[in-house]
Amino acid sequence: MNASGKVWLIGAGPGDVELLTLKAVRALGEADVVLIDDLVSRDVLQFAKPHARVIEVGKRGGCRSTPQAFIERKMLQLAREGFIVARVKGGDPFIFGRGGEEVETLSRAGIAVEVVNGITAGTGVPAALGIPVTHRDYCRGVTFITGNARAGAELDWAALASSGTTLVIYMGLANLAGIAGGLLAAGMPGCTLVAVIQNGTLPSQRSVVSPLAGVVDAVAHAGLASPALVVVGDVVKFASREAVQEMRKQA
């Protein structure tokens, strides 16, 4: 324990422990206490101190989650007691990870905090299937979206459908029918390719590639479950041969 505590906000990447950064490994090795999210591979704990305290602060869509307010209070308490705290999140802390909220809370309280970027699922998971989220011949860029928007925050489907960008949708499986319906109603062609990837970068990774018009049925037939990422756009044509074969099985 140190006279003055500190919090590391660590992005653990999309799942595969080998995608953890060197800086994340170093920060984990300094921590007295590790607060670890549910979606983070427990393999990362091999880099923590042998006697570091590990606190589970699970957050998984559709399941009971540790309240965000509790997590923030626990980080404040531990840091004020002089501990070095590693708050370990899946992906990147600043991309749909509430990292900005946590930095704000800690900084306001005068607690030293440092962010360790991680590979976000929005780039790491498509890459595991061979999908480049940007490609100069097929899109003008990439748009990251959460499918788990707060109540009342309706997405602008028309803007998204006409953006000319690859759409990468986090936490979108539960609302896949609404997402597909919104894009189709906004004029996106039904033949637009969609990849839905479960447990991306892990040995248990599964995926479906389907035209937008049939993606809901294809995913239901395959039995995919959360956590899953949805990628929409012409770049999906680069998906690995295994994923395309899965699409043909569902056809």
What is residue 32's DSSP assignment? S
Cis peptide bond upstream of 227, omega within 30: yes
Which residues sit opposite 33 in a β-bridge? 53, 85
Which residue numbers are catalytic? Answer: 37, 59, 171
What are 213's two structure tokens?
Answer: 């018009």
Over the stretch 146-191, which tens digit does the pLDDT of each residue have? 987 554 457 899 999 999 999 999 999 999 999 999 999 999 999 9
What are 164's two structure tokens?
Answer: 């000319």
Helix (H, G, I), strand (E, B) or coil at 9: strand
Measured distance CA(238)–CA(217) in Å, rounded: 22
Measured distance CA(191)–CA(156) in Å, rounded: 21
pLDDT value of position 241: 65
Strands, sheet with 206-211, edge to edge from the N-terminal-most edge strand: 142-146, 166-170, 228-232, 193-198, 206-211
Over the stretch 115-149, which tens digit does the pLDDT of each residue have? 999 999 999 999 999 999 999 999 999 999 998 75
Q: Confirm or reject CATH 1.10.150.80 for domain 6-116, answering yes or no.
A: no
Over the stretch 7-29, which tens digit does the pLDDT of each residue have? 999 999 999 999 999 999 999 99
Over the stretch 200-224, which tens digit does the pLDDT of each residue have? 999 999 999 999 999 999 999 999 9
* Structural domain boundaries in the chain: 6-116, 121-250
Length reported for the chain: 251
Q: Whole-prediction pTM value? A: 0.89
Measured distance CA(18)–CA(32) in Å, rounded: 23
Could you tell me which CATH class the domain 121-250 is placed in?
Answer: alpha beta
